Amino acid sequence: MRIAVINPNSTRAMTETIALAARRAAAPSTTIIACQNDDGPASIEGHVDGALAVPGLLRAIAAAEDDGADAFIIACFDDTGLDAARSLATGPVIGIGEAAAHMASLVARRFAVITTLSCSVPILADNLARNGLAALCCGVRASELPVLALEADPEAAGRRISEEITRAIDEDGAEAIVLGCAGMADFAAELAERHGLPVIEGVAAAIKLAEAAVSLGLRTSKLGGYAPARPKPGGFLRAAGPFVP
């Protein structure tokens, strides 16, 4: 099985980190095709960056599907362009944000999300409301750690995230933690041990859900909201695929 993992931004270091996490999570028989959106912004912080990333993201997905990819991961916790990607692709498309939330809901009754900056909080909260999992989310908390700080001083970053987890448990009743940034993946195991609760990282969760969907023979529905766009001037010139059961 071939899973395309698309970093919607153009920063190579992030693509490599994401690819590493994806390969670590993938089954031996899964081939990870990691790519990035060279036309996208250097990072995705907020709605404008997200919107600018989508056309390149869609092109990357179309190219990957033409190359035989069976499923697609959007490797940004905002689940950037998820609806459009589902309308375009024949195979399943999974966002890392929704993937982490789905997995959390299988091992806890209430989970909290710890993200980087507070500007992401409304985006993540809206996404959770939209896919229904807000019913199990007891809080989206910002660590106020910018992505770069995660790499620059991992020890301090780990402490900051850990503090926020303590608050999520004490103040919100969190029973599991979703790490709301791919850059936090390396902290997951240690935080789970320190706090004694499941800590879930999105890239790995998405890989496993994509493998699950492909194994089940599932493909994206082409009825209703994800009906394929017709090719048109200024639109997508490659016709979106039909539903293939």
Q: Which of 12, 16, 31, 46 binds a copy of itself (CB under 8 A)?
A: 46
State the number of CA atoms in the 13 A half-sphere of 186 facing the CB.
Answer: 11
If one asks whether residue 108 binds a copy of itself (CB under 8 A), the answer comes out as yes
Q: Which of 13, 48, 148, 152 binds a copy of itself (CB under 8 A)?
A: 48
Binding track, positions 13-32, relative to a copy of itself; x by CB under 8 A: ------------x-x-----
Q: Beta-carbon neighbour count of residue 208 at 10 Å? A: 16
Q: How far is the CB of 67 from a copy of itself (least distance, A)?
A: 19
Compute the radius of gyration of the chain from its Cα atoms: 17
Smaller CB distance to a copy of itself: residue 110 or 160?
A: 110
If one asks whether residue 148 binds a copy of itself (CB under 8 A), the answer comes out as no
Q: Which residues 219-238 are close enough to bind a copy of itself by CB under 8 A? A: 219-230, 232-236
- The DSSP H or E segment spanning 94 is strand 93-95
Distance CA 4, CA 110 (A): 31
If one asks whether residue 152 binds a copy of itself (CB under 8 A), the answer comes out as no
Q: Which residues 71-100 are close enough to bind a copy of itself by CB under 8 A? A: 81, 83-84, 86-88, 92, 94, 98
Q: Which residues 110-139 are close enough to bind a copy of itself by CB under 8 A? A: 110, 118-119, 121-123, 126, 129-136
Category of 4 on φ-ψ map: left (φ > 0), alpha (ψ -120 to 50) or beta: beta
Composition of the chain by helix, strand, coil, percent to 5: 50, 15, 35
Distance CA 21, CA 17 (A): 6
If one asks whether residue 105 binds a copy of itself (CB under 8 A), the answer comes out as yes
